Amino acid sequence: MPASSSLPSSPNHLLPLTRWAAPARSALIGVFTDIDDTLTTDGAITPDALQALADLKTAGLAVVAITGRPVGWSLPFVNTWPVDAIVAENGAVALLPTAGGQVEKRYQQDAATRATHFARMQAVLARIEREVPGAARATDSPGRETDIAIDHSEFVQLSEETIAQVVALMRSEGMHATVSSIHINGWYGDNDKLEGARWIVRELWGRTLDDEMDRWAYVGDSTNDQLMFRSFASSIGVANVARFVPHLEHLPRYVTAGERGAGFAEVARAILSARLTR
């Protein structure tokens, strides 16, 4: 039985991707996508998802990955994936490919603010590891500049109760906290995935995302995507979003039949087929 078959549905959410109207697909100018368990499986992008990114770019669409992964983890992919940017650490840092294979970094916070927040976050991280049994920083933590992350499903497995305890502790320290498919992320500042999307559209194209929200799609899979699911009419969950549905206040509008990279490739095919027939 495919993973999507057990998903609850409503008249407006978690519709099969086949219900995504062709006019809405053909009007798109860009796609935002999560990375972990949306483009990747076990931490690596799948070939079908990589080809889907390339096909979208070739067709003239803007493509931006927005992730909770850190700067250090994301850097190797900026010039090897066909994307306009990777917005890392839940909207705080943009990584842009440049001529000659270099990467440009842009930050939402100034250097002094980042340094102050970094020191505070390290203290919170140490407190979590000291006070929450089984909680440990994510293995990609050395590459993080503007947030902290606790591993809950990448290399260790934490119970829902422990995840909730970590989230509560972060929030008690005044941090924003969110849960991805693999990590619990915490940070100081006003950034999140939606603000990161708004910011990168201003930075790269000098436009206002809110004026063209119906011309962008978002693809994701977990609770840290729900702000994007709420905000985009063309919001899509890959089928493995089923794992997080009980925890989602805001569901994606559509859901794919395939999981992870196969689901993203399904989204790309749906977009490109509508452009061919318009």
**pLDDT tens-digit profile of 145-157?**
999 999 999 999 9
pLDDT of residue 6: 47
Name the DSSP letter for residue 74: H
Closest by CA to 221, choosing from 35, 95, 17, 78, is 35
Q: Tell me the average pLDDT of the chain.
A: 94
Hunting for tokens 């483009």 — which residue is that? 39
The answer to whether residue 4 scores a pLDDT higher than 70 is no
Confidence of residue 236 (pLDDT cuts 50, 70, 90): very high
Amino acid symbol at 148 = I
pLDDT of residue 2: 33
Does the predicted TM-score (pTM) go above 0.85? yes
Within 10 angstroms of residue 69's Cβ, the number of other Cβ atoms is 28
pLDDT of residue 42: 85
Mean pLDDT of 177-187: 97
Which run of H or E residues covers position 270? helix 260-277
For residue 64, what are the β-bridge partners?
Answer: 32, 85
Q: What is the dihedral of CA 104, 236, 139, 83, to 10 degrees?
A: -20
Confidence of residue 278 (pLDDT cuts 50, 70, 90): low
Amino acid symbol at 80 = T
The answer to whether residue 249 scores a pLDDT higher than 80 is yes
Contact call for residues 108 and 192 (beta carbons, < 8 A): no
d(CA 248, CA 227) in angstroms, rounded, equals: 10
pLDDT tens profile 70-127 = 999 999 999 999 999 999 999 999 999 998 889 999 999 999 999 999 999 999 999 9
Mean pLDDT of 154-172: 97
Name the DSSP letter for residue 233: S
Closest by CA to 255, choosing from 272, 238, 231, is 238
pLDDT of residue 3: 37
